[in-house]
Amino acid sequence: MKWIKERDALIAQTMAFVQSVSGGKEAVSRFDPGLNGAAAVKPRAEPDPVAPVPMKIEIQKIVEIPKIVEIPGPAKTIPLSRKFDQVDVKTEIQARIAGFRAHQERFNRERHEYFNATLARLRASIDQLPPPRREK
C-alpha cells in the first residue's frame, strides 16, 4: 500500500501549491465539496501563509543492461505463404484494368443516355408550348 501513501502525499502537495498560488482555501473549496459546507471560511484580503509539505525522495541505483550484439550471418529468408508467379500477377492486373474500363464505359453510356433523354424531354416540352403572343 505504498502507492496510496505516495498518492496522498502528492495530493497534499498539490493542494498546498494551489492554496499558495490562489491565496487560500477558498479557491480550492470549489473543487472539493467537503470544504464548501456551512463552516466554509469567508474570503479575506490577505492569504494565509502555507508551510511547504515535506516530501521524501528515494534515489535508486541505475543498473546498466548489457547490449546484445548480433553476429552478421547469412540473410534470413522468410517463407511466403503463397509464391507469386509473374504471370499470375500480370493476368490479375490485366483483369482488373479490363473490369475498370468496362465500368467506365458503362458510366459513360448511361450518362449519354440520360443526357439524350433529358434533352428529348426538353425539346418535347418546348414543342408543346403555345405560340408566343404578339403585342399590338
User: Other CB atoms closer than 10 Å to residue 92's CB: what's the count?
Assistant: 11
pLDDT tens profile 62-104: 767 667 766 666 666 655 555 666 778 889 999 999 999 999 9
For cell 508467379, what's the residue?
Answer: 85
Cβ–Cβ under 8 Å, residues 17 and 9: no
Q: Tell me the average pLDDT of the chain.
A: 77
Residue 24 Rama label (left phi>0; alpha psi -120 to 50; beta): left
**What does the pLDDT read at residue 94?**
93
For cell 459546507, what's the residue?
Answer: 37
- What mean pLDDT do residues 3-16 have? 91
pLDDT tens profile 38-70: 445 555 555 556 666 777 777 777 767 667 766
Q: Which residues contact 73 (CB under 8 A, 6 or more apart)?
A: none
Position 26 confidence tier, pLDDT thresholds 50, 70, 90 = low
